[in-house]
Chain A
Amino acid sequence: MGEGVDSRFNSKLREAFGSTPFILTKFDKFMNWVRGSSMFMLQFGIACCSIEMMHTYAVKHDLDRFGAGVPRASPRQADVIIVPGTIVSKFTPRMKRVYDQMPEPKFVVGMGSCTISGGPFQEGYNVIKGAEEAIPVDIHVPGCPPRPEALVYGVAKLQERIANGESAPVTVKPYELEQFGDLDRDELVQHLADRIDEDDLVMRYNWADSP
């Protein structure tokens, strides 16, 4: 100790610093750089797009080269969620719950047309017209499905945004989890009152107002 670092830890970068191994930067900037350069992705598959997402993680495209390729099975260990697929009414509350379980700061990549607008299924009676109806989305990657290259580009763009300290504003979304008892007592709520408990969490879909 005191003699500088163990020579085995040396690198080109370390040599470049020479005898003054100090850098001066803003803490926030440094943190954002770190955040963007080492992202843990949530292992989260929904529909067709998740097949291309798997290809992005696997050989050939290898998202890990960009510091963003270690899928975590638990939302509590992840800081980026790629939403790869069509979101339907039964799944939205679960997706929102998974998103809520991720620690801050967290980021969302919407993969595919389905997460933008419902994609080819937009007119379906059961399909949510885009992930942004329920959670904030930082980057949209269009395509049906987007090629792995496109997803890599989307993730790289996200890293760029994170390094710049930007993220999507977390605002109230049209579809939120609420307690059943807090809903306006309209006809539908009255009708369901004996089947859902007051303190059950529910999501109410007002399809008529959907884009």
Chain B
Amino acid sequence: MSLEDPTSPEADPEPVGVTEDGLDYDALEDLLGDLAIGRESHINAEAFVVRPGDVEEALVTLRDEAGFDHCSCLTAQEYEDRFESIYHLRKYDEPTQEVGVVVPAARENPVSQSANGAFRTADWHEREAYDLVGVEYEDHPDLRRILLPETWQGHPLRQDYDQEQPQVVPLREHANPLKDDHRGIDNSDTMFLNIGPHHPATHGVLHLKAVLDGEVVADVDPDIGYLHRCEEQLCQQGNYRHQIMPYPDRWDYISAGILNEWCYARAAEDLADLEVPEYAQVLRTMSAEMCRIAAHMLAAGTFALDVYGDFTAIFMYAMQDREKMMNLLEDLTGQRLMFNYLRLGGVAWDLPEPREEFFEKTRDLLDDLPERLEEYHNLITSNEIFQMRCIDTGVLEPEAAKSYGATGPVARGSGIDYDLRRDDPYGYYPELDWDVITEDGCDNYARVLVRLQEVEESAKIIKQCVDLLEDWPEEERTIQSNVPRTLKPEPDTEIYRTVEAAKGELGIYIRSDGTSKPARFKIRSPCFSNLQTLPEMSEGEYIPDLIASLGSLDIVLGEVDR
């Protein structure tokens, strides 16, 4: 929010608990008063224990009095003697200020109050927690399964879940729009329309249940879970050192692999207290930004595909630029898509020899990029048809975006100045010169603009990294620090760490139990929260705008469903 805006919440008195050097958790504890019945230390932040019936009140207090306006994630998990839901809160203005709210629930019949009244994003997060772990949230408006089929038996992330038990999954004949009963109950003029799960405009296997009034969307309900690949279970089965790293590549698979890997690396390194050599940080930063460019290119290309409706030049141009980027990444990592390049404590290997050739190729690509972007602007953003389709459609107001926990280009297109690379610094970003892009349009057009400009910023970062790498003294090129063969972090340590992935804030919560495998591994996917804003953006708009809005959210189902 800009400071000039007189109605902005900045006009409020100073939030409780903020001091010169960060957060004063004692002040927060005082603020919560009787609501807090205990306190825990997680590596990333302190957490307050709250009774299952006081969730909403505690969250609202923290939101309004202490400024925690971003409910980043909800982790539910099972202990020997209880269930637990952890709400990870932070601030859009200052994401390093975090606090956890821990809600224990009874072993038999776990029930706790829903956080829907405080954050709208809690809706889907709680449905997921109910689906996978089986915690029930009282007063939730619509507590049903979200990832697994509605008739699924059991909650798979519980310890006593039997994976061998048979399941029956219905293929419900979707309501047929040609039947005479297609009209609404009150005989209004609405029609039910299924979009997906197999549909060219849904970018994968997403199913939208839409109700149309003429050409206007009266109601839309995204139905997800068609690509729920049990990523959390599989990460919980793997050991920290080697077996988890390949999975993040497959969450956001649109070439954003290294960005995702970095999230796991950051969480696990902080959990096990590992150092990363500076040289490796530069390599990480460079390769991650290459991934971001490739991912944003696909976003631009497929968005044009959605709006113009055919495999036109723009799509092919974008694919061409991606090919070039993928060639570079292949030279560096050995793979086109599933890089598996980061290691805990560094990266897998150094730059390919001869180094000069790699630098030259990278520079060539970067030199061409401004001209290519010019072309995209000519073909896309300055095209009149495109503008008519995108300006003032799919409007997402910043307040709604925050309540839904939107991040990444979606938030920045709504004027929210939030980028974890700058605000919660990691890697080599703080040493480099680049800008965070925001646009105030709040519409489909703004989101596209943000992505295209971010490509420029990423190019800036890569250029600086290449210069640094070129001059790096040969004897200091350490790519990995010393990491023990088996990692066994201290039992009962908990951490929640996030990075700025291509689509927004990607987070991982890990709880260790002293073994070489995580006891709980929870993924906070940016697309999951971003997709939740779709009804907000498209209800009351025309159906073609719904398609454009969906495209401009740039979701990837592998990450929505995990």
**In the complex, chain B residues 261-297 whose Cβ is within 8 Å of any chain A Cβ:** none
Task: Tell me whether A147 and B336 are in contact (CB under 8 A).
Answer: yes
Q: How far is the CA of A191 from the CA of B250 in the complex (A)?
A: 36
B355: min CB distance to chain A, Å? 25
Task: Tell me whether A207 and B166 are in contact (CB under 8 A).
Answer: yes
Per-residue CB contact flags for chain B residues 148-166 toward chain A (1 = under 8 Å, else 0) read 1111110010000101111
Q: Which residue of A lies closest to B557 (CB)?
A: A47
A110 contacts partner chain B, Cβ-Cβ < 8 Å? no
B480: min CB distance to chain A, Å? 24
A44 contacts partner chain B, Cβ-Cβ < 8 Å? yes
Contact flag A58-B316 (CB < 8 Å), given A94-B171, A125-B161, A125-B163: yes
Q: Which of B13-21, B318-326, B400-408 faces chain A?
A: B318-326
Task: Tell me whether A45 and B169 are in contact (CB under 8 A).
Answer: no
Among the listed B150, B166, B229, which residue makes an inter-chain contact with A126, where contact means beta carbons less than 8 Å apart? B229
Give the residues in chain A near B322, CB-CB below 8 Å: 55
Q: Which of B220-228, B373-381, B419-427, B536-544 faces chain A?
A: B220-228
B254 contacts partner chain A, Cβ-Cβ < 8 Å? yes
Contact flag A45-B204 (CB < 8 Å), given A92-B169, A120-B247, A201-B170: yes
Q: Which residue of A lies closest to B249 (CB)?
A: A48
Q: Which residue of A lies closest to B198 (CB)?
A: A98
Q: How many residues of A contact B (CB 8 A)?
A: 58
B12 contacts partner chain A, Cβ-Cβ < 8 Å? no
A206: min CB distance to chain B, Å? 5
A1 contacts partner chain B, Cβ-Cβ < 8 Å? no
Per-residue CB contact flags for chain B residues 203-217 toward chain A (1 = under 8 Å, else 0) read 111000000000000
Contact flag A126-B148 (CB < 8 Å), given A59-B319, A207-B165: yes
A130 contacts partner chain B, Cβ-Cβ < 8 Å? no
B50: min CB distance to chain A, Å? 31
Q: How far is the CA of A178 from the CA of B326 in the complex (A)?
A: 44
Contact flag A208-B323 (CB < 8 Å), given A91-B226, A94-B226, A201-B173: no
Per-residue CB contact flags for chain B residues 232-269 toward chain A (1 = under 8 Å, else 0) read 01100100000000110010011100000000000000
Q: How far is the CA of A183 from the CA of B338 in the complex (A)?
A: 41
Give the residues in chain A near B225, CB-CB below 8 Å: 88, 90
Task: Tell me whether B168 and A145 are in contact (CB under 8 A).
Answer: no
What range describes how many residues of B lie at the interface? 35 or more
B489 contacts partner chain A, Cβ-Cβ < 8 Å? no
Contact flag A204-B205 (CB < 8 Å), given A55-B323, A94-B198: no
B255: min CB distance to chain A, Å? 7
**In the complex, chain A residues 159-207 whose Cβ is within 8 Å of any chain B Cβ:** 177, 180, 183, 188-189, 191-192, 195-196, 200-207
Task: Tell me whether A90 and B226 are in contact (CB under 8 A).
Answer: yes
Q: How far is the CA of A57 from the CA of B161 in the complex (A)?
A: 42
A85: min CB distance to chain B, Å? 7
Q: How far is the CA of A46 from the CA of B253 in the complex (A)?
A: 11
Contact flag A207-B163 (CB < 8 Å), given A89-B148, A201-B171: yes
A2 contacts partner chain B, Cβ-Cβ < 8 Å? no
Task: Tell me whether B205 and A188 are in contact (CB under 8 A).
Answer: no
Give the residues in chain A near B250, CB-CB below 8 Å: 47-48, 120
B469: min CB distance to chain A, Å? 27
Contact flag A206-B166 (CB < 8 Å), given A88-B228, A145-B338: yes
B486 contacts partner chain A, Cβ-Cβ < 8 Å? no
Task: Tell me whether A88 and B227 are in contact (CB under 8 A).
Answer: yes
Task: Tell me whether B171 and A177 are in contact (CB under 8 A).
Answer: yes
Give the residues in chain A near B441, CB-CB below 8 Å: none
A51 contacts partner chain B, Cβ-Cβ < 8 Å? yes
B198, B203, B230, B253, most chain A CB atoms within 10 A: B198
Give the residues in chain A near B172, CB-CB below 8 Å: 200
Among the listed B153, B173, B255, B557, which residue makes an inter-chain contact with A200, where contact means beta carbons less than 8 Å apart? B173
Contact flag A123-B237 (CB < 8 Å), given A55-B323, A94-B198: yes
A115 contacts partner chain B, Cβ-Cβ < 8 Å? no
B558 contacts partner chain A, Cβ-Cβ < 8 Å? yes
Give the residues in chain B near A75, CB-CB below 8 Å: 198
Among the listed A47, A52, A121, A208, which residue makes an inter-chain contact with B234, where contact means beta carbons less than 8 Å apart? A121
Task: Tell me whether B164 and A208 are in contact (CB under 8 A).
Answer: yes
Among the listed B153, B170, B205, which residue makes an inter-chain contact with A91, where contact means beta carbons less than 8 Å apart? B205
Q: How far is the CA of A88 from the CA of B148 in the complex (A)?
A: 9
Task: Tell me whether A202 and B171 are in contact (CB under 8 A).
Answer: yes
Per-residue CB contact flags for chain A residues 102-131 toward chain B (1 = under 8 Å, else 0) read 000000000000000000110111110000
Contact flag A52-B173 (CB < 8 Å), given A86-B227, A188-B153: no
19 extra A-B contacts, CB within 8 A, seeds A91-B205, A188-B153, A192-B168: A43-B200, A47-B204, A57-B311, A60-B323, A75-B198, A91-B197, A91-B227, A94-B171, A123-B234, A144-B338, A145-B337, A180-B170, A183-B168, A188-B165, A200-B171, A201-B171, A204-B169, A207-B163, A207-B165
Listed in ascending order, the chain B residues whose CB lies under 8 Å from chain A are 148-153, 156, 161, 163-173, 197-200, 203-205, 225-230, 233-234, 237, 246-247, 250, 253-255, 298, 311, 315-316, 319-320, 322-323, 326, 336-338, 557-558
Listed in ascending order, the chain A residues whose CB lies under 8 Å from chain B are 43-48, 50-52, 54-55, 57-60, 71, 73, 75, 85-86, 88-95, 97-98, 120-121, 123-127, 144-145, 147, 177, 180, 183, 188-189, 191-192, 195-196, 200-208
Q: Which 7 A-B pairs have the closest CB atoms?
A: A124-B230, A48-B253, A93-B171, A58-B319, A208-B164, A91-B226, A201-B171
